């Protein structure tokens, strides 16, 4: 399995050449090159999560062809090369907003089909007890790749008039290398019963639907503001791409360490606990942007890089694994339905955020030299939306869970009594807590089984 996990990591790194084009400052700059205003930028930023609705149809392809590796490669190729085709329009001078949005939508439809198929494949390939460690290690190396690719892209865009053309061409090379790496990963059989799980059976699963509701609301809360953080830096504060890249490099190196630690902890305390931890931090970071202006951006961007790296490491890791844990089978219909609700939430969040951003865009206040732009009010609102998602997540039942309050008290207890570098102490105490949770769950399960047997005997 070591070689499998190696190529899984390599495939992820090569895929970054594309994924970093549809998020972050390069995506914002590319959108501005195609003349998108605040509202259209909000819609464009929401296209990737909106198109996740098409994950629902991946189940049809998997049931029909059964070869998930082949399907993932085909979907990825169609997705990534269709977006790289923007280079033709740039060279021809056809930089209309409709061209950018149409290309992005086509690209993300195939990306959605790939994502659901990939999730189904990984659920059958990686044992449940290893997922936190495997994805934690994978994401750690992806953070390193992120740092170098972000710097490369920002350098090209800042230094060359044809920078966006170079970036799009490089992403095509990354796609080819990604497909070659994917071919080294074994295509395990699909573990589903009969002809697959019908959609109505998924709707009847109350616990999974509670998770779907959380997914809907969380994506709405995220896309409400996601398009405007880098837009605020580039348009209102005139921060250079290169400086943003430096902060993103710092973000990725901190995330590298965070993934390493959180990947080990999450297998012991539960992925829902880690998700709650990340959501709290992400909410605080968004609220912090209320103070992000020309006089404070260097300090606050540094703080944002450090805190948000931990927050999104926790969120990305846990929310990638939780659907696998909550679903009772590997059928892509589970991941497709979850993604379709995420897409609706993203659509709602992006429209609402775009309208609010447009209304706030002309607001500018200067109090004794301290500047506040209208978008900063939107960031504060987003922080409240993000935090409220925790109350929906808490209703989802999972195999293993330590309440967030207990998790934080255990962490603070250890770090306050010992130097911060003794992070392994945190891991060990949480591991013991996780073992107690598993033993308690085992006893309750055994007690329930005994009661069921006793009931059968009496009947």
Q: The domain spanning residue 136 has which CATH number? A: 1.20.1250.20
Is residue 67 a part of any domain in this protein? yes
Backbone angles phi, psi at 238, to 5 degrees: 55, 40
> Would you state the pLDDT for residue 59?
76
Q: Which residues contact 379 (CB under 8 A, 6 or more apart)?
A: 225, 228, 229, 232, 286, 287, 289, 290, 292
Listed residue (110, 128, 107) closest to 118, CA to CA: 110
Q: What is the pLDDT of residue 321?
A: 81
Q: Is the pLDDT of residue 391 over 50?
A: yes
pLDDT of residue 400: 66
pLDDT band of 378, cuts 50, 70, 90:
very high
The pLDDT tens digits of the residues spanning 167-208 come to 999 999 999 999 999 999 988 877 654 445 666 777 888 888
Residue 412 is assigned to a structural domain of this protein: no
Q: The domain containing residue 309 runs over which residues?
A: 2-401
Mean pLDDT of the chain: 82
Rounded to the nearest angstrom, the gap between the alpha carbon of residue 333 and the centroid of all alpha carbons in its chain is 20
Task: Round to whole Å and give the CA distance between 124 and 330.
Answer: 7
Q: Phi-psi bin for 136: left (phi > 0), alpha (psi -120 to 50), beta?
A: alpha
How much is the average pLDDT of 230-243?
88
Rg (the chain; Cα; Å): 22
Q: Per-residue confidence at 459, pLDDT binned at 50, 70, 90?
A: very low
**Is 438 among the domain residues?**
no
Instruction: Report whether pLDDT(434) > 70.
Output: no
Residues 6 or more apart whose Cβ sits within 8 Å of residue 135: 126, 263, 317, 320, 321
What is the residue-wise DSSP string for 63-128? HHH--HHHHHHHHHHHHHHHHHTHHHHHHHT---HHHHHHHHHHHHHHHHHHHHHHHHHHHHHS-G
Q: Is the pLDDT of residue 343 over 60?
A: yes
Q: How confident is the model at residue 251, as a pLDDT? A: 87
Give the pLDDT confidence of 88-113 residue by residue, as tens digits. Answer: 999 998 899 999 999 999 999 999 89
The answer to which of 255-264, 370-379, 420-429 has the lowest mean pLDDT is 420-429
Residue 96 lies in a domain: yes
Closest CA to 336 of 344, 348, 186, 315: 344
Highest mean pLDDT among 79-83, 117-121, 448-452: 79-83
Residue 418 has pLDDT above 60, yes or no: no
| 238 within a domain of the structure (yes/no) | yes
Segment 20-24 mean pLDDT:
84
pLDDT (tens digit per residue) in 282-324: 999 999 999 999 889 999 999 999 999 999 989 988 888 888 7
Query: Is the pLDDT confidence value at 263 over 50?
Result: yes
pLDDT (0 to 100) of residue 315: 92
Q: What is the pLDDT of residue 347?
A: 84
- Give CA torsion, residues 288, 284, 265, 333, to 10 deg: -110
Instruction: Average the pLDDT over 387-401 and give the result.
Output: 87
Q: Within a domain: residue 244?
A: yes
- For the chain, the domain total comes to 1
> Is position 334 within any domain?
yes
Return the pLDDT at 381.
95
Is 425 a residue whose pLDDT tops 80?
A: no
Q: The whole model's pTM is what?
A: 0.67
Q: Which residue has the higher pLDDT, 90 or 426?
A: 90
Is 82 a residue whose pLDDT tops 70?
yes
């Amino acid at each position: 399995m070591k070689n499998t996990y190696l190529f899984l990591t390599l495939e992820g790194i090569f895929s970054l050449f594309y994924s970093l084009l549809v998020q972050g400052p390069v995506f914002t700059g590319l959108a501005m090159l195609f003349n998108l205003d605040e509202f259209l930028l909000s819609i464009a930023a929401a296209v990737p999560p909106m198109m996740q609705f098409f994950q629902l149809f991946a189940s049809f392809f998997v049931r029909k062809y059964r070869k998930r590796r082949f399907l993932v490669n085909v979907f990825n190729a169609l997705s990534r090369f269709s977006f790289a085709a923007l280079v033709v329009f740039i060279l021809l001078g056809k930089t209309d907003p409709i061209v950018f949005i149409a290309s992005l939508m086509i690209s993300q439809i195939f990306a959605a089909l790939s994502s659901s198929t990939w999730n189904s494949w990984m659920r059958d390939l990686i044992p449940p007890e290893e997922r936190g460690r495997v994805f934690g290690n994978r994401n750690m190396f992806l953070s390193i790749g992120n740092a170098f690719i972000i710097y490369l892209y920002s350098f090209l865009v800042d230094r060359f008039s044809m920078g966006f053309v170079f970036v799009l061409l490089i992403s095509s090379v990354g796609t080819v290398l990604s497909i070659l790496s994917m071919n080294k990963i074994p295509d395990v059989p699909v573990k589903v019963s009969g002809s697959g799980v019908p959609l109505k059976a998924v709707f009847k699963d109350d616990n999974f639907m509670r998770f779907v509701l959380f997914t809907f609301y969380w994506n709405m809360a995220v896309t409400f503001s996601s398009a405007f953080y880098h837009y605020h830096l580039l348009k209102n504060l005139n921060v250079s791409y290169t400086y943003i890249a430096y902060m993103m490099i710092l973000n990725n190196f901190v995330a590298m360490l965070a993934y390493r630690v959180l990947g080990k902890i999450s297998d012991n305390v539960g992925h829902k606990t880690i998700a709650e931890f990340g959501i709290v931090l992400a909410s605080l970071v968004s609220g912090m942007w209320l103070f992000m202006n020309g006089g404070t951006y260097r300090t606050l961007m540094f703080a944002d890089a450090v805190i948000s790296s931990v927050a999104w490491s926790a969120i990305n890791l846990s929310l990638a694994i939780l659907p696998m844990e909550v679903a009772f089978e590997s059928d892509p219909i589970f991941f497709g339905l979850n993604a379709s609700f995420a897409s609706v939430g993203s659509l709602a969040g992006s429209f609402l955020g775009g309208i609010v951003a447009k209304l706030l865009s002309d607001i500018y206040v200067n109090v004794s030299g301290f500047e506040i732009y209208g978008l900063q009010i939107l960031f504060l609102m987003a922080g409240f939306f993000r935090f409220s998602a925790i109350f929906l997540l808490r209703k989802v039942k999972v195999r293993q869970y330590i309440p967030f309050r207990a998790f934080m008290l255990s962490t603070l207890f250890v770090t306050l009594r010992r130097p911060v570098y003794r992070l392994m102490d945190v891991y060990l105490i949480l591991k013991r807590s996780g073992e107690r949770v598993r033993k308690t769950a085992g006893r309750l399960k055994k007690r329930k089984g005994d009661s069921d047997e006793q009931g059968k005997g009496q009947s």
